[in-house]
Structure 1
Amino acid sequence: MTTAAAPSQPDPDTPGPTTAGPSSTREGSRVVIVGGGPGGYEAALVARQLGADVTIVEDKGLGGSAVLTDVVPSKTLIATAEFMTTTESAPSLGILPSGDDDGGVEVDFHKVDQRVLELAAAQSRDIRTRLEREGVAIVDGTGRLDGPACVVATTKHGDQRLTADIILIATGARPRVLEGAEPDGERILTWTQLYELTEVPEHLVVVGSGVTGAEFAGAYRALGAQVTLVSSRDRVLPNEDADAAELIEGVFRRRGMEVLSRSRAAGVSRDGDRVLVELADGRVVEGSHCLLAVGGVPNTENLELDGAGVRLTGSGHIAVDRVSRTTARGVYAAGDCTGVLALASVAAMQGRIAMWHSLGDAVSPLDLAQVSANIFTAPEIATVGIPESDITTGKVRGAVTMLPLARNPRAKMLGISEGFVKLFSHRASGLVMGGVVVAPRASELIHPITLAIANRLTVDQVANAFTVYPSLSGSIAEAARVLHDKRG
């Protein structure tokens, strides 16, 4: 999910400074955090570092959905699937199957899913161990607010009242469900239920062509499933860079995926061991399984937020400002429940900012222009900064250059023929303003561009920094050199 599609941050009613927190004493401040995902556990570590007494209330396991059912397991599955696409260019590199067998690769899907779940559980245990070592109290249960200074934790032993000087809500989100397409956990699935499968689906119909849908569609196609991707828009990844989305859709089709554009799902039903996906125009797509990837819903109900003075937006998200404050004094929020940007890295930063601000430490407000994001397709799509549309529409007076990876010497050596580096700069100052990388491991390659934006570097400064020859990152420096004469 990229910064190009980031929603604007809600502006809560509570006024106040955004660069320095309250002057209250850090030592002994009582912090209660509802939710143990990245926003919650990262906030807890900062609060303990600043001397606060910290309690986390979490009912599903430390790490939250990001670790247990979303980011960690999905990216583990995708990383496994990626191995199935790395040999595509083998013949052009001179690597041929031996004569002993057909050279094919099979997938032990039970082992794949077992590893995915074990890795997620291990990560959750590691987070719990770290928090306990740092002195964070952990309450296994659900939490709700009783005013702005108390959290009631409901556990298997009954209710426990936790008074607090500072409260952080980090309850995340859950998969959105379409009316008439309710998941059954067997054949009609959300992305949290995929890991219960014991074999690769024969034919997976993916409803939704956003980031989640595209990632899983690509992964399961690589693992051997027949895949049909149902997209209600003109193309896959409709909110992402147009050139990147076009390239990925072409890759999907080349690999044998059926992509149904401008096709809205009206309902999903079971017929024995088959699923029937009914489209709005009357067509029916039949498959063995259906994945619903149609967005998320914030977990903000049953928290008694209204009674504490915490305002929700029209979409049910918690309204926060750039230092994570809600409209209730002393109550902060972080992560997907705020609707700012659904990335684990953003949730973690929101949580840290909340603690820095509330406990009186130096703090810089959240700056979405510095957030890099990655889509884990093959190849990956990484973005940071402004979208190209800001330049093409005249919103920003900037310059654009795009270099195909096929001309990069290292890419040639690796047999990489698809992908590109795109860089955006300001015409007057030459400052780097954004970029897109489509490549294997684009999530690693985007970092130099992120550093350039965060430190207000010009394209000349980026161009004059040494890169290894040959390297894929050399294309970033080359793009910066191209932009040298784009000022004025």
Structure 2
Amino acid sequence: MTGVVIVGGGPGGYEAALVATQLGAEVTLVDSDGIGGSAVVTDCVPSKTLIAAAELMTEVSRASDLGIVLRDGAHPAGLLTADLERINLRVKALAAAQSADIESRLVRHGVSVLKGRGRLDGPAAVVAELADGTERRLDADAVLVATGATPRTLPSAMPDGERILTWEQVYDLAEIPSHLIVVGSGVTGLEFASAYLALGVPVTLVSSRDRVLPGEDADAAVVLEDVVTRRGMTVLGKSRMESVTRSGDSVTVRLTDGRAVTGSHCILALGSIPRTADMGLAEAGVVLDNGGFVKVDRVSRTSARGVYAAGDCTGVFMLASVAAMQGRIAMWHLLGDAVAPLDLSKVSSNVFTAPEIATVGVSQAAVDAGEVQAEVVKLDLATNPRAKMQGVTDGFVKLFCRPGPGTVLGGVVVGPRASELIHPVSLAVSENLTADQLAQTFTVYPSMSGSIAEAARRLHRV
């Protein structure tokens, strides 16, 4: 029987464990921070649960546009307020329950779960420093490193867990901030800024770039920035943070141009750093890049024979879905099952703002740079009948297809529940469907997904 030791219980680790046991391996998983990792305990599950509350507030804010008022004529949104303590209690309870569910599943499938910190002792062994202070050496035929990443901080902007916060520390807030400053306009920064804005918090976003979401589709970023500024968010573009300091109940963010912004709380969204230090990786022959990320190939192998890696610690694509696939691929490869190398061109992702931004496949930037030849169609959701019924005026569907054969290469959806609407486009990209095949698939009338078929019809060439 093949012995596998997995260090880290996030999506890369626990999905790998389930595949390995299914294929007959003996699996030990060493985890120090809660099964599910940051995706379940401190990041994806908590943040999207918070965002679910914000989404409800966003929906209610548009109630009068659809003719919904209280009997005295008042706007429903005017009578609602967010109880942040109750929201965060629910957030933490759901995260804990999800973590417990995953751990129970692992145990049912025969995975030995050890609570502690793991480090490599050469390429074929892991030393687990257990919670009771003892150590246990685990010999292995193969090791998977799936230790994730942690929020990046700076000496000039150190979190205190009370007023200056990383995105993992926001769930202990019991009172609504009187003015929230978010530093960082990437996906994490925008998601929190958008959520707290919807919950009724005045928000200032500090962005070092000329637009928000610099890594996302430019058209989508323009729509989102227009929406959040229209709703009252202050966006400080081309504004680089120099320092963040606290004085009593106030926080001051100083910018490199001499300006200063003062608020009650600050969330730092400055990116992530891998959790690979002091793990014996280099000594085991595992090569790290300059940022400390583990270098892997497309089947999750590191430079050390028998050592694989998956998830955020590899820096390949920091999504839970990618981490999970990397972990599965590692075990399929190790244990001789059918395996296809990781293909990032088929990864779908979503920004959980209001509206959401979902993408898959090639990007507009790649097309504009001449890296990919593609025909492009962009269709505003404002023309969609279901969108009109729901009072949705912002958003669009964009499709990319290969000239000639018309194969769908990618797409962008901006709108409510874009994370759900992107799925037919993801299927088209994954299965090499043509725009005509996508167009000729029946859609419900009226539906938001009808805009995907309509955009595909506009790509038809005789």
Bigger relative CO (Cα 8 Å, ≥ 6 apart) = 1
Superposed, 1:42-441 pairs within 5 Å as 42-99=15-72, 103=76, 104-155=79-130, 156-441=132-417
Tell me if the contact between 2:329 and 2:340 (Cα under 8 Å) persists in the aligned partners: yes
What letter corresponds to residue 146 of structure 1 in structure 2? D
Q: Whole-Å Cα distance in 1 between the matches of residues 203 and 70 of structure 2?
A: 27
Q: Whole-Å Cα distance in 2 between the matches of residues 111 and 413 of structure 1?
A: 32
Matched length: 459
Q: Whole-Å Cα distance in 2 between the matches of residues 456 and 345 of structure 1?
A: 21
What letter corresponds to residue 31 of structure 1 in structure 2? V
Q: CA deviation at 1:157?
A: 4.1
Q: Whole-Å Cα distance in 1 between the matches of residues 275 and 70 of structure 2?
A: 51
Q: CA deviation at 1:88?
A: 3.3
What letter corresponds to residue 114 of structure 2 in structure 1? V
What letter corresponds to residue 238 of structure 1 in structure 2? P
Higher alpha-carbon deviation: 335-344 or 86-95? 86-95
Secondary structure of 1:200's counterpart equals: coil
Secondary structure of 1:83's counterpart equals: helix
Q: Whole-Å Cα distance in 2 between the matches of residues 108 and 265 of structure 1?
A: 30
What letter corresponds to residue 356 of structure 1 in structure 2? W
Q: CA deviation at 1:303?
A: 0.7
Q: Whole-Å Cα distance in 1 between the matches of residues 248 and 371 of structure 2?
A: 53
Percent identical: 63
Provide TM-score, normalisation by structure 1: 0.93
What letter corresponds to residue 204 of structure 2 in structure 1? T
The C-alpha deviation readout for 1:65-98, integer Å capped at 9, x for no partner, is 1100000000000111111111333223211232
Q: CA deviation at 1:116?
A: 0.2
Q: Whole-Å Cα distance in 1 between the matches of residues 270 and 284 of structure 2?
A: 31
Q: CA deviation at 1:108?
A: 1.5
What letter corresponds to residue 58 of structure 1 in structure 2? D
Q: Whole-Å Cα distance in 2 between the matches of residues 266 and 121 of structure 1?
A: 36
Tell me if the contact between 2:63 and 2:75 (Cα under 8 Å) persists in the aligned partners: no
Q: Whole-Å Cα distance in 2 between the matches of residues 341 and 330 of structure 1?
A: 23
Q: CA deviation at 1:62?
A: 0.5
What letter corresponds to residue 13 of structure 2 in structure 1? G
Q: CA deviation at 1:431?
A: 0.4
Gaps of 5+ in 1: 1-27
Determine the structure 1 residue equivalent to 2:457: 481
Secondary structure of 1:235's counterpart equals: coil
Determine the structure 2 residue equivalent to 1:17: none
What letter corresponds to residue 400 of structure 1 in structure 2? V
Structure 1 residue ranges, 4+ long, deviating more than 6 angstroms after superposition: none
Provide TM-score, normalisation by structure 2: 0.98
